[in-house]
Structure 1
Amino acid sequence: MLLTDYLFNEAEEIWDEYLKHPFITEMGKGILDKNKFRRYLIQDYLYLKEYAKLYAMGLVKSDNIEDMKFFQESINGIMEDESATHITYLKNFGEKIDQLEKYKITFENDNYTSYMKGVALTGDLQDLAIAVLPCAWSYYYIAKNMKEKYGDKLEGNFYTSWIESYSCDDYAQCAKENIDFANKVCANIDDKKKEKLKEIFINGSLYEMKFWDMAYKEVK
């Protein structure tokens, strides 16, 4: 069994709860409060800035050009492709993109990104590869399921662009590359390491849930 199959099996209950989360279900139905979505986008924009730093740490920890290329391409994808959907929505909300960093990162967001950076700084390349995986993988998992469930009702849905961007073939490839990279660098690990990586993956999956909880809070 591939390591990522094992990790998914261990975290599957958490991931299935994502699909039932009111932020996700209301997006799929097109009824989510737009102010909640706007706040989520701002926080996710701030998150992506910190998330890209993790891949930058991967550049430093890599021992070969192939791995360095993976991290470099991932940074480009986060900073350019993934941020593009956020920027389009935020511009429509009247936000000035060059001023987004004036917003304060939330407690939940800071806890999650600090956890991942702590793993990346103190751990090895295997730890880092698993720390970044729940985000890259679960967004495709969520959006793919949303597309399958709500696909015939997405016309006119304000959130269609978000769903499409994370369920499209390009993002599917991004998720696959992260999965494949994790399996490659974590090949032939012993049971002790496997348990450590499981803990990192489950913690990351729980932090993802906390992020959705944060996003759904009433806007004050």
Structure 2
Amino acid sequence: MTFTEDLRRENDDIFQAIFNHPFVRGLGEGELQDDAVAHYVKADYEYLNTFMQLYGTAVSQSKKREDIAFFQGQIAFVLGDEIHPHRNLCDYIGVPYEELKGFPMPPTADHYRTHMKSVATEGLLGKTIAAMLPCPWTYQEIGRELKKEFAPETNHPFYEWIEFYANDSITETTDYLLKRLDEEAEAASLEDRQLMKEAFRKSCQLEYAFWEMSYTKEDWPVAEGVLK
């Protein structure tokens, strides 16, 4: 069993919880509350800004040109392609995408960002990948699960979102990160392998928490000077 196969097995409980989360189920069923969708887009826009920065960190930690080219390409992919699922969500709620940019991150999203940046500052590419991998990996599997269960047609409200994350481009991204994490883990010490596992599981937990944050419209306890 490879290192990443072991990671998937050890964290199947979180993957299954994500598949069954009401926000994810709502994507498949084609019905979500508008304000929850807006909350998700606001937070995810800022989250993806951080993710691009982490790809930049991965570039600085890379020793092979193949890795540098891959991570640079991923920055371009997020900038140019990953806006499409956001626009699908914005079309669903009838709000221009531009109106949902530039908002403060809710607590959970901010925690997730801080976690990944903290791991990345330790300087090891394997740890950085381990912290980042749950994002594309869980989304890839969500897309596949929703496509398999609901078989959405083009008139489905979230057809474009589901198709985007079920398609080959996400698979290629995930497969490359899986391969590189297996290689980095093979060369790592037992201590660093354990730290990779811990970083990966915490990111999985925070992936689930991100969906919950969006569904409940989580905010900071004091907003606009009013104690909630």
**Partners of 2:88 and 2:105 in 1: how far apart?**
20
How far does residue 70 in structure 1 lie from its aligned partner after superposition?
1.6
Report the secondary structure of 1:186's partner residue: helix
**Partners of 1:169 and 1:26 in 2: how far apart?**
23
How far does residue 207 in structure 1 lie from its aligned partner after superposition?
0.6
**Partners of 1:218 and 1:66 in 2: how far apart?**
40
**Partners of 2:41 and 2:132 in 1: how far apart?**
19
Amino acid paired to 2:194: E
Stretches of structure 2 that go unaligned for 5 or more consecutive residues are 220-228
Deviations 1:102-126 (A, max 9, x none): 3121111111011101100124111
Moved more, 29-38 or 8-17: 29-38
1:39 alignment partner in structure 2? 39
2:224 alignment partner in structure 1? none
Counterparts of 1:1-220 in structure 2, within 5 Å, are: 1-90=1-90, 93-95=94-96, 97=98, 100-151=100-151, 153-218=152-217
How many pairs does the alignment contain?
218
**Partners of 1:58 and 1:219 in 2: how far apart?**
30
Deviations 1:21-48 (A, max 9, x none): 0011121111221331122122111110
TM-score, with structure 1 as normaliser: 0.91
Percent identity between the two aligned chains: 27
Amino acid paired to 2:96: E
Distance 1:187 1:38, change over 3 A: same
TM-score, with structure 2 as normaliser: 0.88
**Partners of 1:128 and 1:16 in 2: how far apart?**
24
Deviations 1:165-193 (A, max 9, x none): 10012222222122122223322333322
Amino acid paired to 1:58: A
Distance 1:26 1:150, change over 3 A: same
When the two chains are superposed, the root-mean-square deviation of aligned CA atoms in Å is 1.9
Report the secondary structure of 1:187's partner residue: helix
